[in-house]
Structure 1
């Protein structure tokens, strides 16, 4: 079930929180079991046939974890098993299709259904094996480890929480939480959830009505796009993805807080970035730091000279692209960002003066928008059909039938841009100084949002309005989060 669906908001979440509060008050040692059961129900609602696969993967990784410190062979076998499982479900059809075509691949391998969230729970379990191998985290009990992997706020689309960062929080969960602390966490969690729900239902979902027709027309190829349509589609998708992922990140962090766990920040106003490498320190932060610590640095990072650093960066970003999906468009999107980040390092190294803040933000944003076209396109033909009119003026008749539809779309895009570029993010609104500390980040909260009058009156009012418009805008079934596809 979706976080933005009625069955989640009005049935699953209240029942889960009530059971958790009762267990925490009566018998804290079963707190984890309550969350485990709830998480299994949550995943089974989505993907009942794959519950056994998820549990089997969990048990195998837990068993492997008891031997990885003593045996390098067992460690690499565990990594290989995780990657092989991910490869089979996510990349086997694509890889076979390169050699025998899509239809030939389906004939040979059949229709392979992708288990929901496999990219995320695979990375969680790799993180566990690496952290245990390095001795940076204690070996857990099976219930603690199962809670780490299955916890429903992060099970489907992250954030990718490193085991070493959360192991002690899970152990404390089984010992119980003081009621005062739990009430504070639930209150701040509700605020995060409400603000995320508003961004998803009231901003991200409506933008799809201007992004989807443009990319559908580009995919069909029967009607060339006008320049205005191409730019509207590119901007609409850029802000749709921004607010969709921002919303999910807020809601996931909020739900985790409601059950007494603080997740690391995963999204911090990335469109305010002045450079492309700063963008990647703010966008999908848990993935960026996972790749940095487990791929880029082990490859050598910047230790072997500029040329090797550029290669390591390129490899890391190509893998980020492929992680998002099986297709050449994703591979090229990753390579594009790898080239941009590498170029930004070269520019800094040779001493080119930094652009003024406004110029840097504008240039970085446009570079990111160009990349999102590749990210959204079904294939390279679709991407080229959007890029063409973006860079070569075309005054063809708009695919949007009514002029008013264009006006509304431009107005909504402008509103989304105003919020993304100028409004405070949820971490700033909640005046939280601790969100980013886990990664060594130092983005202080604005003092005006920590003022007593704001926290007592303005913030509750803002959360209430956001919750109202979020609930009334989300519809009965809700719309899936874009990152659920990865």
Structure 2
């Protein structure tokens, strides 16, 4: 629907429209795009945007600090309330009910609240706008259309990158349109689609199959294969979406930040978070870590601030204790970096550092992927139980479709190849060719065509981060 209907019609309309009305066209397209995936939440979202825009404009005009603070807190509480209600109310009620049942008290009757698509990303964009105007870092938009576009902009509203208002506000008012940007945007979109349909969706078959197996029936080898496949899946799925979002934005004249920078080449967890989901890390640093005091306080307080950031990062990803544990583990690993690991790791070879960091990341991914804490702990036991007498679990997919094995090997090669010294030499030699118009456009068309072929022959497979 997107490739053959929405995109062609939207971009024809967008470029046939005079420049001063292109934001309106982009907004209409974004509303239609969101309506297709989340129609039930659209009216609530539009009303909240209308209220936001009026509150923030009133706050900006207000001179009295106490009234200004009232406006700020009202907008902030409203948006955090939206996130808490739609994303976490079921989680809270389920946990309260489990306690009530244990106490032999009748549980709370509760109608299950459906999770609106992209709610986490939308609310974080809204909060960015509110805070930056309150801090006088940016003026609010003069036109309601511009504010609605910032929040609903369809390449990024559902799964990011999370773009801070200050980074895109000037581009909403004015941006250049160059053929080079259209060509580069098409190239990035094609690469992203290829990552999704050829790599992520294929390795997901193995990851899903192995994570469905009861952990006590899984051999150590296949436990590691399962989590490695999931690590590959989530990276190529999420970075593929980011490539597509960045590419579509560039075609429309917007230049937005990168969201990934070869994260599995990190030599410690601190570096991993400078390379993984960069826009979320930047948002957390600007709006949570620094306001808490950052590293300007005592060492213990700085560690506490880091722990809070990663706790929030974990619960932001999903209403499940597995995500909380995932965030807390990363917080502990970050603190360990600062306590001793960053200094100690300098004595270790680069490739060994990368391997050690990757293993720690894999361990945390188990909690991210598992259905429950018990499932995660059982899976980890299978990964490290070298004395297990459990017979090897043979996954049928590895025997019925050997092409998936080749894709797994290919994905691991392109993921870790940049860690080798000769890669930099090859990249420097080939970069002029790769980004020339004589190569980029034919290559983009070829990648797009084979990805479309894969799309029409595969079953529907949504992006992983659509559920966050």
Question: Could you tell me how far apart the structure 1 residues matched to 2:251 and 2:89 are?
Answer: 38
Question: Could you tell me how far apart the structure 1 residues matched to 2:10 and 2:374 are?
Answer: 46
Deviations 1:110-150 (A, max 9, x none): 11101110100000000000010111112102111011011
Q: What residue number does 1:92 align with? A: 89
Instruction: Specify the SS of the correspondent of 2:367.
Output: helix
The answer to whether the aligner puts 1:280 opposite 2:273 as a matched pair is yes
Question: Offset at 1:453?
Answer: 7.4
Question: Could you tell me how far apart the structure 2 residues matched to 1:165 and 1:454 are?
Answer: 25
Question: Offset at 1:359?
Answer: 1.1
Q: What residue number does 1:187 align with? A: 183
Q: What residue number does 1:388 align with? A: 381
Q: What residue number does 1:48 align with? A: 39
The answer to whether the aligner puts 1:459 opposite 2:450 as a matched pair is no
Asked whether the 8 Å contact 1:157–1:484 carries over to 2, the reply is yes
Deviations 1:45-64 (A, max 9, x none): 11112110110111111112
The answer to whether the aligner puts 1:66 opposite 2:67 as a matched pair is no
Asked whether the 8 Å contact 2:83–2:119 carries over to 1, the reply is yes
Question: Given the alignment, which residue of 2, 6, 10 partners 2:4?
Answer: 10
Question: Could you tell me how far apart the structure 2 residues matched to 1:238 and 1:349 are?
Answer: 24
Question: Offset at 1:339?
Answer: 0.4
The answer to whether the aligner puts 1:243 opposite 2:231 as a matched pair is no
Question: Could you tell me how far apart the structure 2 residues matched to 1:102 and 1:30 are?
Answer: 55
Question: Does 68-77 or 393-402 show the bigger shift?
Answer: 393-402
Question: Offset at 1:102?
Answer: 9.7
Question: Could you tell me how far apart the structure 2 residues matched to 1:59 and 1:240 are?
Answer: 38
User: Structure 1 residues 103, 208: CA separation in 2 closer, same or farther (over 3 Å shift)?
Assistant: farther
The two structures have a TM-score, normalised by structure 2, of 0.90
The two structures have a TM-score, normalised by structure 1, of 0.87
Q: What residue number does 1:121 align with? A: 122
Q: What residue number does 1:435 align with? A: none
Question: Could you tell me how far apart the structure 2 residues matched to 1:191 and 1:130 are?
Answer: 35
Asked whether the 8 Å contact 1:208–1:237 carries over to 2, the reply is yes
Q: What residue number does 2:207 align with? A: 211
Instruction: Specify the SS of the correspondent of 1:390.
Output: helix
The answer to whether the aligner puts 1:159 opposite 2:156 as a matched pair is no
Question: Given the alignment, which residue of 469, 477, 483 partners 2:450?
Answer: 469
Q: What residue number does 2:110 align with? A: 109
Question: Offset at 1:397?
Answer: 3.9
Deviations 1:406-453 (A, max 9, x none): 9655543222111111159xxxx9xxxxxxxxxxxxx9x954344257
Question: Could you tell me how far apart the structure 2 residues matched to 1:449 and 1:124 are?
Answer: 37
Instruction: Specify the SS of the correspondent of 1:300.
Output: coil
Instruction: Specify the SS of the correspondent of 1:136.
Output: coil
The answer to whether the aligner puts 1:319 opposite 2:312 as a matched pair is yes
Q: What residue number does 2:65 align with? A: none
Question: Does 343-352 or 159-168 show the bigger shift?
Answer: 343-352
Q: What residue number does 2:327 align with? A: 334
Question: Could you tell me how far apart the structure 1 residues matched to 2:320 and 2:238 are?
Answer: 21
- Extract unaligned runs of 5+ from structure 1: 1-6, 430-442
Instruction: Specify the SS of the correspondent of 2:290.
Output: helix
- Extract unaligned runs of 5+ from structure 2: 63-67
Q: What residue number does 2:152 align with? A: 150
Asked whether the 8 Å contact 1:161–1:264 carries over to 2, the reply is yes
Question: Could you tell me how far apart the structure 2 residues matched to 1:409 and 1:54 are?
Answer: 41
Asked whether the 8 Å contact 2:267–2:357 carries over to 1, the reply is yes
Question: Could you tell me how far apart the structure 2 residues matched to 1:346 and 1:285 are?
Answer: 23
Question: Offset at 1:230?
Answer: 1.0
User: Structure 1 residues 337, 215: CA separation in 2 closer, same or farther (over 3 Å shift)?
Assistant: same
Q: For residues 399-418 of structure 1, what are the structure 2 equivalents within 5 Å?
A: 399-401=394-396, 404-405=399-400, 410-418=405-413
Instruction: Specify the SS of the correspondent of 1:248.
Output: helix
Question: Given the alignment, which residue of 193, 203, 226 partners 1:233?
Answer: 226
The answer to whether the aligner puts 1:197 opposite 2:193 as a matched pair is yes
Question: Offset at 1:463?
Answer: 2.5
Question: Given the alignment, which residue of 19, 24, 29 partners 1:38?
Answer: 29
Question: Offset at 1:404?
Answer: 2.3
Aligned length: 450
User: Structure 1 residues 185, 397: CA separation in 2 closer, same or farther (over 3 Å shift)?
Assistant: same
Question: Offset at 1:348?
Answer: 5.8
Q: What residue number does 1:439 align with? A: none
Q: What residue number does 1:131 align with? A: 132
